[in-house]
């Protein structure tokens, strides 16, 4: 199996940064292209709040601008050694990650997992878990270096 294109979804968290480090290592080792993706979630649930200074559309646009700047800042030092592309998408994170991987025919997705458990996992679900289940390419999940769990 050849790895020529790696997708690394980025949410700007510490775990995401650690996953990015690993994706850069893999891309360097395999002489692969690296695509950094950030998904701006839709903010429809805020549409009825009139106290917001911005409309949901304006807020999404501002979030997209900020994400574009932050993603390019992450990509700059990587571009010295690798071919890197940055993409911003709007929508549900797991859907957009899978769409991007499919449309660009990615060989591998490298992403972090926040390791939610219990009620927060039940209520929020896991973007990573959904990507692992639905992606049509392998997914390498990187958990935080200090993640602890109990083994019964």
Is 124 inside a domain boundary? yes
Is 45 inside a domain boundary? no
Is 70 inside a domain boundary? yes
Beta bridge partners of 37: 9, 87
Is 150 inside a domain boundary? no
State the pLDDT at residue 124. Answer: 42
State the pLDDT at residue 123. Answer: 41
**Cα–Cα distance between 42 and 22 in angstroms, integer?**
29
Residue 23, classified by CB atoms within 10 Å of its CB into exposed (0-12), middle (13-18) or buried (19+), is buried
**Number of domains into which the chain is organized:** 1
The residue segments making up the domain with residue 68 are 5-40+51-143
**Residue 144 near residue 42, CB atoms below 8 Å:** no
Is 17 inside a domain boundary? yes
DSSP codes of every residue in 30-87: HT-EEEEEEEE---GGGTT-TT-SS-HHHHHHHHHHHHHHHHHHHHHHHTTTS-EEEE
CA 48 to chain CA centroid, nearest Å: 28
- Please give the average pLDDT of every successive group of 10 residues along the chain, which has 152 residues: 94 91 96 96 56 67 89 95 95 95 97 63 67 95 65 56
- The enclosing domain of 60 has a CATH number of 3.40.50.620
Is 151 inside a domain boundary? no
Query: In terms of pTM, does the model score above 0.85?
Result: no
pLDDT digits (tens, 9 = 90+) for 62-98: 888 999 999 999 999 999 999 999 999 999 999 999 9
Is 62 inside a domain boundary? yes
Sheet containing 108-113, strands listed edge to edge, beginning at the edge strand earlier in sequence: 84-90, 33-40, 5-9, 108-113, 139-143
Tally of helices (H runs) and strands (E runs) in the chain: 5, 5
């Amino acid at each position: 199996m050849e790895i020529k294109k790696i997708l690394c979804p980025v949410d700007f968290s510490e775990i995401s940064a650690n996953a990015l480090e690993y994706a850069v290592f893999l891309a360097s080792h395999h002489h692969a292209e690296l695509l950094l993706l950030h998904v701006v979630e839709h903010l429809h649930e805020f549409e009825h709040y009139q106290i917001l200074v911005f409309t949901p559309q304006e807020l999404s646009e501002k979030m997209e601008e900020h994400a574009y700047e932050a993603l390019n800042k992450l990509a700059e030092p990587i571009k010295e050694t690798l071919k890197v592309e940055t993409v911003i998408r709007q929508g549900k994170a797991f859907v957009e990650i899978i769409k991007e991987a499919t449309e660009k025919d990615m060989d591998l997705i490298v992403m972090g997992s926040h390791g939610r458990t219990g009620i927060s996992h039940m209520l929020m679900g896991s973007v990573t878990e959904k990507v692992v289940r639905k992606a049509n390419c392998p997914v390498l999940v990187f958990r935080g270096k200090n993640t602890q769990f109990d083994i019964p």
